[in-house]
Amino acid sequence: MRYPTANDRRVVITGIGVITSIGRTRESVWKAIQRGESGVRRLTGVPHIPDGLMLGATADVEGEYPGQLKNIPLCRQTAAEALADARIHFGRVDRDRFGCSIGGHMGDVDFVTERVGLASLMPDGKPPWWQQWFPNTACMTVANDYRLGGPRLCNSTACATGTIAVLKAARAIQDNQCDLALAGSSEAIHPLFATGFYNMGVLADHVDPTLACRPFDANRSGFVMGEGAAMFVLESLAHARQRGATIYAEIAGGRILNDARHVTSLDANSDALSELIRVTLKSSHLVPRDIAYVNAHGTGTKQNDLLESRGIRTAFGRAADSLCVSANKSMLGHLVNASGSVELAITALALRDGFAPPTLNLTDPDPECDLDCVPLIGRAQPLEHALKLSIAFGGHLAAIALRRWTGREARQPQLLLRQAA
C-alpha cells in the first residue's frame, strides 16, 4: 500500500483556456491585456433598453449554435483549449478520477416568457427546453463531452461563482475524490440581468465606450457588462508529475467567507474582506509581504472600489504600499459568473510572465483608494505570489492565493509586448 504524502494534497494548474471580448484564445487575450485593449462597445437590440444606452463587452465563439445558450459553447471551447494546453490524453488518465466543477449560469427562460401553449415548449429551431433549462447545463455538457466520471460540481454564487468553482475543484482533489478536474465558469449577457442592472443605475456610460469603466478612479460611475469564459485543468502535484505535465502555478490556498450585512454591499469597515485576506494567506502559509500582486474585484462602482481598497489596506498593513493591484474589468467588462475564473487565469499568466496588468482608464486616482493600482500601462516585474479577490451580491466573498511554479516543470515565460506610453 502506498500511503498519501504532502505532495498528494498540493493542487497545481496545468492547463488554461480563455475567451473574452478581446480574444478567442488564452494567449490572444493575454496579449491584449498587456497592450491595455478594451472590448467595450455600445450595444443595440437589448430588450427593454433603448438602443445605444447600454455598453457591453461581448465575446465571439467559433461556429454557429442556433437556439443554444451561449454559455455552452463558451464553456466547451475553453475546456477544449485547457485540455489541449495541459496535454491531456484520455487514454492515459482515469476518467473516473477526473472531476468537473463549472459555475452555474442563467438557464433558458425563453419558453417561460414566450409560452402561449404546450407546443411552444419546443419551438422550431431550438433545442428542447429541458436540455438547457438548468443552471448546471454547461457543467453537464462539458462533463458528458469527455465522459468525466469524477465529482460533478456546480455552484451559483453571483460574481464569486468562478472563483468558488475553482476552490471546490481543488478541495475535491485534496479530499482524494479525484486526481484532476476541469474547473471554471462562463457568462453571456442575459436581457433579464442587463435590464435589472440598467434599472439599478449601476451601469457606466461615456461618449467613448472604452473609457466608461474606471475602477479606482475619482470619476468612476459604475461597471459595464461583459461576456467570456475561462477553464482550468487542476491536478494533484503527484498526478501532474507522474504524467510529466508542465505547471503554471500552485493553488497555495483559498477561502470562502461572507459579509452577512447586506445583499449588495460590504460593511463600511470592510471587516469581512480583510478577514478573508488574512485567513487565505494563513491557509497558504504566506505573510502579507509575500504577495506582490492582487487581482482585485474592481467593478468601478463608488462603493465597491472604496471598500475593497480599505479591506486590502487593513489586511496588508504596511505591506500594502508595495502591492500592485489591478482591475481587469476596465478592459473586459464585468463578467459576473465568469469574472472570477477569467481574472484568475489572467493572474496565473501574470505570474508566468512577471507582468502586472494595467487598470485601464485610471487617469485620476481616487485618493481614498490609496493603493498602487497600475494605472494605464502594465508593469514588468518579478511576481512570485498573487492573490485573486471576488466580492459578490449575496455577501459571497472568495479568495485564491497562487504561487508561481519554478524549476524544470514550470511553464516558460512568454515574450512581453511593449506598450505605447
Which pLDDT belongs to residue 416? 80
Which pLDDT belongs to residue 295? 98
Q: What is the mean pLDDT of residues 366-375?
A: 97
Give the CA angle between residues 364, 367, 373 to the nearest 5°. 65
Which pLDDT belongs to residue 110? 62
Q: Is the pLDDT of residue 3 over 60?
A: no
Q: What is the mean pLDDT of residues 102-111?
A: 74
Percentage of the chain beyond pLDDT 90 is 72
Q: Give the pLDDT band (50/70/90) at residue 6.
A: low
Tell me which of 3.40.47.10, 3.40.50.300, 1.10.3720.10, 3.20.20.70 is the CATH number of domain 6-404. Answer: 3.40.47.10
Which of 6-10, 53-57, 311-315 bottoms out in mean pLDDT, i.e. has the lowest?
6-10
Of 190, 76, 196, 200, the closest CA to residue 143 belongs to 76
| Grid cell in block for residue 187 | 457568462
Per the prediction, the chain carries an average pLDDT of 90
Which pLDDT belongs to residue 1? 37
**Domain residue limits, the chain:** 6-404
Q: How many angstroms from the chain centroid is the CA of residue 112?
A: 30
334 belongs to the catalytic site: yes
Contact call for residues 316 and 399 (beta carbons, < 8 A): no
Contact call for residues 54 and 194 (beta carbons, < 8 A): yes
159 belongs to the catalytic site: yes
User: 241-267: per-residue pLDDT in tens?
Assistant: 999 999 999 999 999 998 877 666 667
Q: Is the pLDDT of residue 377 over 70?
A: yes
Q: What is the mean pLDDT of residues 137-147?
A: 91
Of 46-60, 62-76, 387-401, which has the strongest mean pLDDT? 387-401
Q: What is the mean pLDDT of residues 307-329?
A: 97
Cα–Cα distance, 340 to 305 (Å, whole number) = 16
Which pLDDT belongs to residue 381? 94
Q: Which of these is catalytic: 239, 334, 385, 396? A: 334
Q: Which of these is catalytic: 154, 159, 213, 324? A: 159
Which pLDDT belongs to residue 227? 96
Q: Which of these is catalytic: 105, 297, 385, 396? A: 297
262 belongs to the catalytic site: no
Q: Give the pLDDT band (50/70/90) at residue 118.
A: very low
